[in-house]
Amino acid sequence: GRANDLGIPGVPMTRTRFLGTGIALPERVVTNDDLSQLMDTSDEWIKTRTGIRERRWVVPGETGTGLALKATRSALDIAGLGADDLDAIVYATSTPDHSAPGNGVYLQHLLGAGPIPALDIRTQCSGFVYALSVADGWIRSGLFRRVLVVGAEIQSTALDVSTAGRDTAVIFADGAGAVVLGPTDDDAGILAFDLHGDGAYAEKLWVDAPGSMHHPRMSHGQIDAGRHFLRMDGKEVFRHAVVRMPESVRAVLGKTGHTPADLKLLIAHQANLRIAEVIQRSLELRDDQVYNNIMWYGNTTAATIPIALDECVRAGRLARGDLIALTAFGSGFLWRSAALRW
């Protein structure tokens, strides 16, 4: 045995390992040229400012839980487990199918899992890393063994696709990623988290309505004023994101006695390719130490990290024992990172 987190010698330490990953994306591809038909924008502007070439948007009938189901089945396959083997679900989304209840229970039902607990996490872009930290706590405490963590988002139905909403409409998109987690006593697994928030910036990236502070909660007036659309102060988000993510990656690696140079791979939230490039430079990482796919999927909020992770796994970029960092920044503002050994 090894010292555990409390430093008690001889007590074996349980860590949380990734047992399987899966993703699901809507079939419908929306190109920058497609968007130029709807609003005053161009392929050139979108590519230069964001790096995005195309993204996936759902068609009516496709749902967040539907995508999450597909991603989960794929993750369970890789893990060699069935829905019956799951003990709990943590579902990160800022765009649930309905206002209440959250998506976790819908997914539990679609999966045909037993009557297991399901918790929705609403921390937007950083939802997946936050959900991981909750699942990790549950597993390490022994409360649950096998936990499904989902990051899934349908942003397209919250976007103003006219010229007035072009700053957000060209960025945000739909998709789902799922991971199955379980306990391990070996050297692999999640090593540390770094979690922060600052509500002073809550309205720099938000959806105002519907909301319980409004009387009534939902009205024609709100809709006429477009208060149900995602609103963002892009410059402010950008300015904070490029500082907070590198700072948080250094902090989480510091907790494990490592530096960015030791990383096999950094997966940063895919908010904007320019942001990812600043993070890479700031941490002095080589191209082979980072992974970006925003070109093809846009910003899928809580889904960007699990989608990228799954693609790296399937491309054979991760070997047992590799040091990996995940980092996210977004609405809240909330920012967080994780360090793990694959």
| Catalytic residue set | 125, 269, 299
For residues 320 and 187, give the distance between their C-alpha atoms in angstroms, rounded to a whole number. 10
For residues 111 and 114, give the distance between their C-alpha atoms in angstroms, rounded to a whole number. 9
Q: How far is the CB of 205 from ligand UT7 (least distance, A)?
A: 6
| Closer of 148 and 275 to ligand UT7 (Cβ) | 275
Segment near ligand UT7 (CB under 6 A), from 12-20, 164-172, 256-264, 288-296? Answer: 164-172
Alpha helices (H) along 283-342: 294-297, 304-314
Q: Does residue 167 touch ligand UT7 according to CB under 6 A? A: yes
| Closer of 201 and 238 to ligand UT7 (Cβ) | 238
For ligand UT7, the binding residues in 51-110 under the rule CB under 6 A are none
Q: Does residue 197 touch ligand UT7 according to CB under 6 A? A: no
Query: Pairing relation of β-strands 88-92 and 118-121?
Result: parallel
For residues 149 and 199, give the distance between their C-alpha atoms in angstroms, rounded to a whole number. 25
Q: Does residue 330 touch ligand UT7 according to CB under 6 A? A: yes
Residues in contact with 84: Cβ distance below 8 Å, sequence separation at least 6, in sequence order: 113, 114
Q: Which among 146, 140, 142, 145 has a CA at the least distance from the CA of 190?
A: 140
> How remote is the C-alpha of 276 from its chain's centroid?
15
Beta carbons within 10 angstroms of residue 156's beta carbon: 22
Residue 178: both structure tokens together: 């799922």
For ligand UT7, the binding residues in 118-137 under the rule CB under 6 A are 125
For ligand UT7, the binding residues in 250-269 under the rule CB under 6 A are none
Q: Does residue 237 touch ligand UT7 according to CB under 6 A? A: yes
Q: Which among 252, 294, 98, 125 has a CA at the least distance from the CA of 201?
A: 125
Segment near ligand UT7 (CB under 6 A), from 44-52, 66-74, 99-107, 244-252? Answer: 44-52
Task: Work out which of 58, 116, 241, 242 binds ligand UT7, going by CB under 6 A.
Answer: 241
| Closer of 106 and 333 to ligand UT7 (Cβ) | 333
Query: Pairing relation of β-strands 231-232 and 205-206?
Result: antiparallel
Q: How far is the CB of 274 from ligand UT7 (least distance, A)?
A: 7
Cα Rg, the chain, nearest whole Å: 19
Q: How far is the CB of 139 from ligand UT7 (least distance, A)?
A: 27
Instruction: Give the binding site for ligand UT7 (CB under 6 A).
Output: 41, 45, 49-50, 125, 166-167, 170, 205, 232, 234-235, 237-238, 241, 271-272, 275, 299, 330
